[in-house]
Structures are given as C-alpha cells and as structure tokens.
C-alpha cells in the first residue's frame, strides 16, 4: 500500500480531497471527494488518510467550528453506509462537541484559516520562469460571517476568479505596477506577488479589513506595515483608501500600470465614488494622445462606437472599441464581478461612460485556467471579467 504522503502527491483524488479540506469547503463537498477516493464508500483506508494527512497535519485549533461540522457529516456518511468509523475520528468529534458551542458560527467575530491550493496542470503553457509552481498555497484568515459588516474579510467568487486570471496570465503583470481597490483578505495581492510585478499596492477603505489583510500577508511571508510607512518588502504596500474621500492628487501619485478589483460593483451608493477613483487612476494627463492617434484610423473598426450587445439586457455584456496603440502606454483595469442586479451594473456602465471609461467584457477571450478544480462552492460561470481603459478621444 502506498504511503499517505505519496498518495497525496501522486493521486488527483487525494490532492482534491486534501485541498478541499484545507480550503474549508462545505463538508458535503469534502465528503464527496472522500467517497470518490474510496471508490464509492469511505473505507477505513480513506478514513486513515483523512486522519493522518488532513486532520493531524492541519492547524485545526483555528478551525474547530468547521472541523465539528465536517466530522459530523463524515461520521453520518460512514455509519449510513454500514462501515466502521475509526476511533480517532469519534474522539476528535467528541472533543469538538465539548470545545465548540452551537452558536459559535453565529458570532460575527469568528474567523478561520483557509488554505487555497492553486493547482497548475502538468502541461501548463506558462513562461518557464513561472513553471516552478506545481501547486501554489495561499493561507488566509477569513470571516465565517459574510453579514454584519464583515464582508471585507470574506472570500468572494470574483476574488478567486481574478486570482486564477492573474496566475494564468503572469506575463500581463510582469514588470508592471499594480494597484487593487477593495483588496479585502489580500488574496489577489498574494497572487500578484508571484508574477514579478514591479510594485503591488493593496488598498481598502475599512481599517479592520486592512488589519486582517496585513495578517494574511504575514501568513504568506509578504508582510508590510499596514500604513506603508516602514516596508519590509519594497514592492508591496497595504494602504487605507476610502473611495469617497480619496483626494485626486493623492490618487495621481500612485500612477499604476494596472488597476484591479474583485466584486466591487455591487453597491449603487458606492459606484459614483468607485468610478471617480478608476477614472483618475486610468487617465494620464501627460500621455501624448495626438501622437497615438496620428495615422491610426485604419486600426479602428469601420463603425467604431460604444454599443451594448443584444445580450446586455440579460447578461450585462458590453463591447467597446478603443485605441489598440494607446493600450500599451496607458493604464488598464481588470475588474472581476458577479452581476447580481442588472440595474446596478447598468448604472455602473452609465457612470463609466460619463467619465469616458471604456468597458469591455473579456470573459470569453481571456479565460483563466481552472486552478481551483476542488472548490465546488465557487461557480466560475457566474463571474465576468471586464477590462477598462480611459477614452482620450
């Protein structure tokens, strides 16, 4: 019989099972991986693997509420199939029952550690300098409660999608200065740090979120001073930046090549401030637009215009033609978003148009690799990727 460690490294079912457990995926999904690993049932061999590789080797002290729910689901699954449950699993569940109160998950301050493993396919066609990663692990302290004002410390689908996008196209971000708006737990920043960016600036308008983000950077050996004053990593900063009060001169000092954001298009009250910030960051006052536009008429589509496709009313897609030459010199933004309310998204588009921002849906033309195949709670098809630039003419 293979050792658990060898199974972990060589077997895809094992890798997905362990990765799903460490990412604190819903217990139903993790148990389904365990069932698949056992060929339809969770045998003693599979239970032993879960105990030795998942539970014993993970920092379960921080995640006892999750472990309690997982073990309950696992034990019920095993018993309902008529199999024998290992004593170790029973004992750990009893420990969780004594240690975790039933209302623990309802507490807004409850946090947990989630470890996301980005799994790169063996035939991944990345630059040779990037192929050193077979698996990139990112550890994040997250909130268990997405409500009660703790949204900035939660993991959102668009953040996972944008992270996959960054790791799938590292050449886009190499040697570029990048600024993220609404950085939340810092997942996107950790992924950016793997792409040889010249500079990474993570921002958020909530101080408690910034404190949690800074802790997550420390957990991934990317720690900086929260206010950016004393940086231990000169390429990364973590800054307080509320959109509604950000001064124009303060924003122009950043001069990023690329602006990023995940799930920032959701609150109609915040959208005017967000669009203003994007417009300031994306517009370059010193850009020689006349030189860029000179003699470039043939590069435009014959009917160059801003228009909504037929799918816009239902899917929120927008295609806008811009200057392909200016794209290499002026900054761009990549915004990943789940369109929950079409009226809110159309409001964002109208504000963007007033600020001369070009919004293009690139979801189908730049599809990221599926680097999180075990995260079943993450619906990739619900996320859209938008590229935004400033229209100078």
Domain range enclosing 354: 146-285+302-390
**Whether residue 234 is found in the same domain as residue 332:** yes
Same domain for 314 and 202, yes or no, is yes
CA torsion angle for 80, 82, 87, 92 (degrees, to 10)?
-10
Same domain? For 100 and 150 the reply is no
- Give the span between the Cα atoms of 102 and 276, in whole angstroms: 45
Last residue of a domain, one of 104, 136, 157: 104
d(CA 378, CA 145): 17
Q: Looking at 54, 71, 104, which one is the last position of a domain?
A: 104
CA distance 47 to 77: 12
Task: Examine residue 295 and state whether it is found in any structural domain, yes or no.
Answer: no
What's the distance, CA 293 to chain centroid? Answer: 36
Helical H segments across the chain, by residue range? 4-10, 12-22, 27-37, 44-49, 64-80, 87-99, 157-168, 170-173, 187-192, 207-219, 248-252, 271-282, 289-293, 312-315, 342-354
Element (H, E) at 119: strand 111-119
Residue 217's φ and ψ, nearest 5 degrees, are: -65, -40
Q: How confident is the prediction along the chain (393 residues), in pLDDT tens digits per residue?
A: 444 444 444 578 888 999 999 999 999 999 999 999 999 999 999 999 999 999 987 766 668 889 999 999 999 999 999 999 999 999 999 999 998 876 554 454 477 899 999 999 876 555 444 444 478 999 999 886 554 445 668 899 999 999 999 999 999 999 999 999 999 999 999 999 999 899 999 999 999 999 999 999 999 988 544 344 334 455 889 999 999 999 999 999 999 999 999 999 999 999 999 999 999 999 987 665 554 444 443 332 333 333 343 344 333 434 433 444 444 578 999 999 999 999 999 999 999 999 999 999 999 999 999 999 999 989 999 999 999 999 987
Give yes or no: residues 239 and 179 share one domain. Answer: yes
> Three-state DSSP class for 251?
helix
170 and 265 assigned to the same domain: yes
For the chain, how many structural domains are there in total?
2
141 in a structural domain: no
- Say what percent of the chain tops pLDDT 70: 75
pLDDT for 293-346, tens place per residue? 444 433 323 333 333 433 443 334 344 334 444 445 789 999 999 999 999 999
Look at residue 223 and tell me if it is in a domain. Answer: yes
Does residue 357 share a domain with residue 232?
yes
Residue 220 lies in a domain: yes
Question: How many Å apart are CA 37 and CA 43, to the nearest integer?
Answer: 9
> What is this structure's pTM?
0.83
Domain at 268, CATH number? 3.40.50.150
22 occurs within a structural domain: yes
For strands 357-361 and 306-308, give the pairing: unpaired
In a domain, 127, yes or no: no
Q: Based on the fold, state whether residues 170 and 86 are members of the same structural domain.
A: no
Taking only the tens place, the pLDDT of each residue in 221-259 is 885 443 443 344 558 899 999 999 999 999 999 999 999
């Amino acid at each position: 019989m293979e050792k658990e460690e060898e199974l972990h490294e060589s077997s895809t079912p094992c890798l997905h099972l362990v990765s799903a457990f460490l990412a604190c995926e819903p217990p139903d999904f993790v148990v389904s991986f365990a069932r698949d690993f056992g060929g339809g049932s969770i045998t003693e061999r599979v239970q032993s693997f879960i105990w030795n590789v998942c539970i014993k080797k993970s920092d379960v002290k921080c995640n006892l509420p999750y472990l309690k729910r997982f073990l309950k689901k696992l034990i019920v699954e095993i018993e309902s199939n008529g199999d024998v449950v290992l004593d170790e699993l029973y004992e750990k569940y009893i420990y969780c029952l004594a240690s975790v109160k039933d209302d623990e998950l309802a507490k807004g301050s409850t946090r947990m550690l989630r470890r996301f493993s980005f799994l790169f396919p063996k035939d991944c066609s990345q630059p040779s300098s990037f192929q050193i990663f077979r698996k990139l692990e990112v550890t994040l302290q997250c909130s268990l409660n997405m409500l009660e004002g703790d949204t900035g410390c939660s993991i959102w689908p668009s953040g996972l999608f944008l992270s996959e996008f960054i790791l799938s196209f590292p050449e886009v971000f190499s040697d570029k200065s990048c600024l993220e708006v609404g950085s939340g737990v810092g997942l996107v920043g950790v992924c950016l740090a793997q792409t040889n960016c010249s500079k990474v600036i993570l921002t958020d308008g909530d101080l408690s979120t910034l404190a949690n983000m800074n802790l997550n950077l420390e957990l991934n050996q990317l720690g900086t001073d929260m206010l950016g004053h004393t940086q231990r990593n000169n390429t990364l900063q973590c800054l307080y930046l509320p959109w509604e009060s950000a001064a124009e001169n303060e924003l122009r000092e950043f001069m990023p090549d690329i602006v990023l954001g995940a799930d920032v298009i959701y609150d109609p009250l915040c959208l005017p401030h967000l669009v203003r910030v994007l417009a300031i960051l994306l517009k370059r006052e010193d850009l020689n637009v006349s030189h860029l536009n000179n003699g470039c008429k043939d590069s435009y589509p014959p009917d160059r215009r801003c228009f909504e496709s037929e799918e816009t009313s239902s899917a929120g897609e927008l295609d806008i033609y811009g200057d392909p030459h200016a794209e290499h010199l002026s900054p761009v933004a990549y915004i990943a978003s789940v369109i929950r309310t079409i009226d809110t998204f159309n409001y964002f588009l109208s504000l963007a148009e007033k600020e001369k921002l070009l919004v293009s849906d690139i979801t189908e033309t730049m599809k990221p690799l599926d680097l999180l195949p075990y995260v079943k709670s993450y619906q990739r098809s619900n996320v859209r990727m938008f590229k935004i630039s400033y229209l100078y003419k």
